[in-house]
Structure 1
């Protein structure tokens, strides 16, 4: 087991344990403190048992508190020679761990009776141990790195608080426990500020102790440096704290302090302005200490610099806004020149880049679609039609799986010596990426910068999004001037060409263009694998049959996929789609249904925006309609909350979920409700035939054909999209 040195650990404290730290700091007697420490340790590790031992005058360890151990399994006193982890931890001042064989009688030890492990962490103050925390693990292996860091932090905070209580005269340990005179003598020589110097600095957390009566506030060294103050120069006046708060946030903090004196809990997020003028975000939590009459006397707590997380969130929001802006700009770009103009007018400035060149593949050759920012001689070279195979750089980009970055000229020319003399002298960094649609790789894009540039993970995400949007827009633009019959091919390009292989589910889809017009429609579907084995299911219908409907559908689908990758649930994802569509320069609206399925449990979360209700064909052949409460169709109403209501359900093994667009049930001269009822009867009939072996080709593909057949027979006027998902069984781990 590796010892955790406070100065070397820089991971951020989980907010759950940050609150626990505040509770430890607020304990007013040792018994309460040690009990809270042991209970928290079991929660951190999922342990069945824990105990805390304190050091007596003679050096032996005495049990102070325990949980989860049978009485006959406890050793109430341990000598310094005992060969157990808790004694080793006190003796060495470092964490100790030991695997233990299983017990024949499970009643004799917590857990299953199989092999277990015991981890012990010393309660250290400076170089002396006041005692140790012992935790029994359910597994024979040591604690995980995350568990060890958290336990080390909690043990250190508890030791410092125990130290502090002892010097304030709270020496009332459990019955039979001596005065801990070794610890008392050690800490009597230290100042109050030093006693509160917690090891929490290892996690980027500082501690404070505020005495209301005197107006003095004590900061540990880490908190002083967080506020830009040298510890030796801090005069402990509360005015220093309030003066550091950003003027716009001072009232918020004052209100939080007033509320804390009523509730006992303090929590605030605010900005500070350091002496050097730098602004930082601080998140603080604390607990109010009271006298026996319940009157507030002071506050102890912790504060953390959350500037990095705030800035990361700002970058994430800026990235989303940029994607929305690009998506909106491309929604009206219908020709190839429109696409290039959008790239030069919107994308290039947004990326703070100098030049770009877009090529598309045509009959095996690479053709320049447009370029900007190059001198005439370089532009002429780019305009020459050449096969992809004869240019190693182009071939490398076409075969790459994502964006390629070159941070300086040396990197670029080192990787591709043949570009020497073919690049502008004013360019010193490059981003190159393939343009891919459902039909495959259709071209390349090269973006150049005037200065060397260090590309970040944010750049990777932005370029990946731009590549997807540009590829879709370029594909749409090249098809725009072709015959209206080819517009249907554009619809198929925008739909997934291949569905992902998903453990635990079977999927079938159908798309049928409307027979009334050859113009492309706005129906679409998507199936997306999510982390943890979950599956995102989407189906939607943009109003109308036109190139504009196809453009809006493509932008909406791309944006929803991008937001789904960010981890949004169905309700939030629908809200994001509504916000995006409201921001487009279009009068078109869209209906949509989004679901998230966990094949392992069958848990189903759904959100709906004016779309037909999905249906469930149960394994026994019965059919039910999922009456999912929804919101208005997308782009009909801007919702400030930006979240659609979600419905939860369960999809049992063998059950099939059906999503469809309204073209499946809408036709001239037929009542909509009657058509939906007929669809349900068709599902029941098919289930009975499949169970009876009447169908020569059972499975979802046969069901998809059966569902679409009536619409084909009547030459449905509207487009039809069908998405079927059957939960086969819980996927194997």
Structure 2
């Protein structure tokens, strides 16, 4: 055989390098970290499940296919290359497919540095490695995902355990952090009320559009209603199937990116008290583990929601009872304005004995009273109402402030309720600014002047109201003060200043500072005090505020 004679079929047997790579599903890439340019051949695009028109050649565009946890690990590899700590790498990572699933991918790269000016370029290959990895690895991944989902639901459930109202439950479930943890793009929540389901939350493009569900009858064919009536969760992974079952919702979901939804009944003590929906983008199926986990999680939500509904109802009853006991109307004062604020306790029993009243007297002066009956129960509230009415009657009869308190103390003692009460009674003549005040164990008043400075008034006083008759008649000396035009007199109960474990002086100093920094307008100032000093969700005491502001300016 001559030296230049080729073996039979030699040319045909040669396989091009590109063909070999394609035959094995291996893609090639070239990456420039400085510019972010990341060039992929057709095989590389196929590995990333990208069409040529979906990719513009930048590394950032690949982020849509890489889960966040995988992206963080790859970012660390990139940092090592850019910093010169590594010249090559080889790693496995997952890619998110357009259908919602994932595939394992292997990539290997080599750094090429320009000999003259050190510019970095990375060339490498990547391939589908799903079949290469064992079934146990995929199973471990699924278990890891499930543990991550369980942890996310546990964190949300922990936040729900601290919810004190339905509004708090809504805030937890619809917060960005909770939705991100749970991987959902839309949440809605409805509660059952008198044969209807009332929508209390709807977050997400699709959910927020369904206005017809704001208060729908349970008999109507809506998914939340069906979940409540059947007591069983509903799972959808096909938009067509969802529209076939609920054609009236077709116009709301048209053009949506939602790929799956779960509608969960919220069952507490064997009764459906509401339902919630979770809408997903990219999810294509609900595994048996998913369904079990969501069903169990909905039970925890139901317990939190039921507790919050009971707390809301208790708070509503307490507020209603308290409002009945407090004056229905505050009189108009010639030469001044009055503002009042009241807040029930937010923990424990919300019914308390704090009260206030203002009565316009025959000489166009005004009597102001604020007090606190011992205890936090319905009896305290009832005694408070009777005591307030009695004091109003004594004031209208024209008795001086020291006599009003003495008579009120005797009245409370004769009730034999074994309760005492603190009270501060102030008689103000707006025309002259003259003030007479008597105190029965209550906190001292303070005055905010027109320039924002604050003055405390030390009022002479006696013991709390209602002490036993055998102790002798209580005496309540009075003190005299003067208000200038534009001054604001502030009376308050201890719930506005006291905090557990804190010295009372700290609370009083805080009140003075907040009052001094507040706006000049009376109503705005009252709101400022209430919002600044009663914002704590763990407040165990109710709080009352009564303010009188004289007309005019200091120059008047």
TM-score (norm: length of structure 2): 0.41
Structure showing greater radius of gyration is: 2
- Give the number of the structure with larger relative contact order, counting CA–CA contacts within 8 Å between residues 6 or more apart: 2
TM-score (norm: length of structure 1): 0.32
